[in-house]
Homo-oligomer: A and B are copies of this chain.
Amino acid sequence: MVEVAVDAAAGHGPGRLALADLAASVGAGDLLTDPAAMEAYRRDWAKDPDVGMPCAVLRARSPEQVVEAMRWATRTRTPVVPRGAGSGLSGGSSAVAGALTISLDRMRAVEVDVATRTARVEPGALNVEVKRAAAGHGLWYPPDPSSFEICSIGGNLATNAGGLCCVKYGVTTDYVLGLDVVLADGRLLRLGGPRVKDVAGLSLLKLFVGSEGTLGVITGATLRLVPAPPPAATLVASFASVADAAHSVVVIGASLRASMMELMDNAAINAVEDLRPMGLDRSAGALLIAQSDAPGEARASEVEAMARVCERHDAIELFTTDDPEEGELFCAARRAFFPAMERRGSLLLEDVGVPVPVLPGLLEGIARIAARLEVDIPVVAHAGDGNTHPIIVYDASDQVATDHARLAFGEVMALAISLGGTITGEHGVGRLKKTALPAQLGEDVMDVSRAIKAALDPLGLLNPGAVL
C-alpha cells in the first residue's frame, strides 16, 4: 500500500495493485476503468474543459459499496469525487485526474411513507421521481430546480438546491429530516429521521446539506413532504422597465405569499420569442410571472391583489387566470429560456442573489457590465427571493469574446457581493466559483470552514478542488 500511497501523493493516482484491491472490495462489475466508458462521468453541465481522467468510476448500487470505496480511498490516499446526475452548473462533480469518481446514478429508490409524510430516497433518484412518488399519495415535495426532470435528489442535497417555489416554500435544506452520509474514512453516519422536531446534539445534518461532496458522500435521505397544494392562479404583467417590475416584486413580497414570482428582462423575452413565438411583448423592459396556490377563493383574490400592485407600478399589460393550463403556458415561456439560450452560443450561467430590494440595482449593474464589455447578458430571475440567472452568451471560437465573457462572469459576482448579495443562490460554488468565495465570506469564515473540513476529512480526499 505504501508504494501506492506514494503514487497517489505524486498525483498519478493509485497503482494497479490498489485498483485490484478496490475491485475486490466493491466488485469489479460495478467499476469502470476504461477511459471510453468513464468519459460520460467526467463532466457536469459546467462543461469544465480542464476535467481530469479518473482512475476509476464506481457506479454504486448500495451504501455498503460506498463505505468500502471510502475505506479504500483512505487506505490508498486516493481522492474521491461524488457524482449524481451530472446536471450541476458549477463543476462540483467535475472529474479529478487520478481520483475515484463515485456515481450514485444507480441508487434511485424512492419510498413514500404517508403516515410520517416523508419520502425515504436514495441519492440517484431524480427530483421529478421524488415529486411523482409523493404525488401518487396526494403529497408534494416542494423544491423545484428548473432542471427538476433531470437532476438527482442527491445533487439537490449536496448543493442545497432551490427553484421557483422557494419564494413561498423554502429550499432543499428545509425539507431534509434525515441523512445517511459516508465519511472520508468510510464511517456511515445516520443523522435525524422521520421527525419534524429533533434538537438532540449538533445540527450535523444541516452542515452536510449544501457541502457539495466535500464532507461526505450522501447515500440516503428522509425528506419531508407536504399535502399537495391546490392548482395555482397566475398573473402575467409586462413593464416598461425592469425597475418597475422589481419594485412590484418587493411590494408583493411584503404582503402576499406568491408561490412563484419569476422575472424576465427584455433580452430574455426576445430570446424566448425567437425560439418559440408566443406573443410576448418584445418591447417590454420586463415580464413578471407570479402565481398563488392559496386554497379556495384566496387563490384568485391573492392574484388580483398582486395585479393591483403591478398597476400601481405602471404595468403596461396585465393578465390573470385561474385556469392552471393557461397559467402553465406562461411558465413554459419562462422554462423555454435555457433551451433558447443554448442555441445562441457558448454560455456562462450566473446564479447571483441579493436582498430583494436591491434587485433593481443588481439588474442595472449587470446591464452596465454587459454594455461596457460588449457581451450579451439576458437575465431571468427567481425575483421573489432575489436570486437571478444572468446568462453570459459568447462565441467560444473568438478569444476576445471569450475573455470578455470571463471578465463579465467575475464582475457580476463582484457586483452581487458589493450589493450585500451572494455569488451563488442555488447552484453551488463547485470549482467554477471557488476563487470568488473568499471575497464574499471573508478570511475568518473561510478559516472556520477549512477547520471543519479538516476535522471531517483530515486527508482532504473528498471532492478536492471544490468549494474550499
Which segment, of A10-18, A53-61, A364-372, A382-390, faces chain B? A382-390
Instruction: Give the residues in chain B near A297, CB-CB below 8 Å.
Output: 295-298
Chain A 42-85 interface residues, beta-carbon cutoff 8 Å to B: none
- Chain copies in the assembled complex: 2
| A418 CB, min distance to chain B CBs, angstroms | 13
Instruction: Give the residues in chain B near A421, CB-CB below 8 Å.
Output: 195
Instruction: Give the residues in chain B near A433, CB-CB below 8 Å.
Output: 200
Give the CA-CA distance A195 to B357 in the complex, in Å: 10
Instruction: Give the residues in chain B near A160, CB-CB below 8 Å.
Output: 199, 203
Q: Please give me the residue from chain B that is nearest to A202 by CB atom.
A: B449
> A420 contacts B193, CB within 8 Å?
yes
> B441 contacts A200, CB within 8 Å?
yes
Contact with A428, one of B199, B204, B387 (Cβ below 8 angstroms)? B199
> B202 contacts A211, CB within 8 Å?
yes
Give the CA-CA distance A448 to B185 in the complex, in Å: 12
Give the CA-CA distance A207 to B183 in the complex, in Å: 17
Instruction: Give the residues in chain B near A420, CB-CB below 8 Å.
Output: 193-194
Interface residue? A354 (CB, 8 A) = yes
Mask: chain A, 264-281; 1 = CB below 8 Å from B; 0 = not: 000000000000000000
> A162 contacts B437, CB within 8 Å?
no
Which segment, of A166-174, A235-243, A282-290, A396-404, faces chain B? A166-174
Which segment, of A101-109, A112-120, A316-324, faces chain B? A112-120
Q: Please give me the residue from chain B that is nearest to A354 by CB atom.
A: B195
Q: Please give me the residue from chain B that is nearest to A183 by CB atom.
A: B448
Contact with A357, one of B115, B201, B296 (Cβ below 8 angstroms)? B115
Give the CA-CA distance A295 to B296 in the complex, in Å: 8
Known A-B contacts A197-B353, A256-B227, A428-B199; A189 and B456 likewise in contact (beta carbons under 8 Å): no
Pick from A115, A385, A387, A444 the residue with the most CB of B within 10 Å.
A115
Give the CA-CA distance A117 to B196 in the complex, in Å: 25
> A442 contacts B190, CB within 8 Å?
yes
Mask: chain A, 353-384; 1 = CB below 8 Å from B; 0 = not: 11111000000000000000000000000101
CB-defined A-B contacts under 8 Å, sample of 14: A115-B356, A166-B197, A188-B444, A200-B422, A200-B424, A200-B437, A200-B440, A200-B441, A201-B440, A226-B257, A294-B295, A295-B295, A295-B296, A451-B455
Q: A115-B254, A170-B196, A199-B427 are in contact. List 5 more A-B contacts (CB 8 A).
A: A139-B254, A198-B353, A201-B441, A206-B209, A294-B298
Residues of A within 8 A of B (CB): 114-117, 137-139, 159-160, 162, 166-167, 170-171, 173-174, 183, 187-191, 193-204, 206-207, 209-211, 214-215, 226-227, 250, 253-257, 294-298, 301-302, 353-357, 382, 384-387, 420-429, 433, 437, 440-442, 444-446, 448-449, 451-456, 467-468
